[in-house]
């Protein structure tokens, strides 16, 4: 990749021209998409959207740190990832709660069988 301003070759994993200090972002951020996924996953308690929001958010935050994606995407990316994590955690807790209730019901039924 070359600087569009002065034609100097840009250093790998750098978002700034060494010659004229023009700042470049190599990739478009997915902040809006990640945020929408995060919100939808939380509203519907769906890990199907929560996990992608988490994974994409994690990857994109790394790219933002490396200067590949513009820093302006950081807020949305972070928010979307956090919402995704919350929805995944809530889903796991819900599954554990349902499993615990089923175990309790099963044990109560067994005890009743023994004592009657």
Q: Can you give the binding site for Zn ion, defined by CB under 5 A?
A: 3, 5-6, 8, 17, 19-20, 22
To Zn ion, the closest distance from the beta carbon of 62 in angstroms equals 25
User: Nearest Cα to 60, choosing from 40, 38, 39?
Assistant: 38
Q: Considering beta carbons, is residue 21 or 62 the nearer one to Zn ion?
A: 21
To Zn ion, the closest distance from the beta carbon of 32 in angstroms equals 29
Q: Considering beta carbons, is residue 5 or 44 the nearer one to Zn ion?
A: 5
Burial class (CB in 10 A: 0-12, 13-18, 19+), 3: middle
To Zn ion, the closest distance from the beta carbon of 11 in angstroms equals 11
H helices present in 1-116, as ranges? 31-43, 47-65, 74-115
């Amino acid at each position: 990749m070359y600087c569009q301003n002065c034609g100097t070759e840009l250093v790998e994993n750098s978002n700034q021209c060494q010659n004229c200090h023009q700042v470049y972002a190599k990739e478009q951020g997915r902040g809006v998409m990640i945020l929408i996924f995060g919100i939808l996953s939380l509203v519907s308690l769906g890990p199907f959207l929560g996990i992608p929001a988490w994974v994409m958010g994690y990857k994109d935050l790394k790219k933002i740190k490396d200067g590949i994606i513009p820093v302006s995407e950081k807020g949305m990316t972070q928010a979307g990832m956090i919402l995704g994590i919350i929805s995944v955690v809530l889903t796991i807790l819900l599954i554990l709660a349902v499993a615990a209730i089923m175990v309790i019901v099963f044990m109560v039924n067994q005890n009743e069988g023994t004592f009657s």
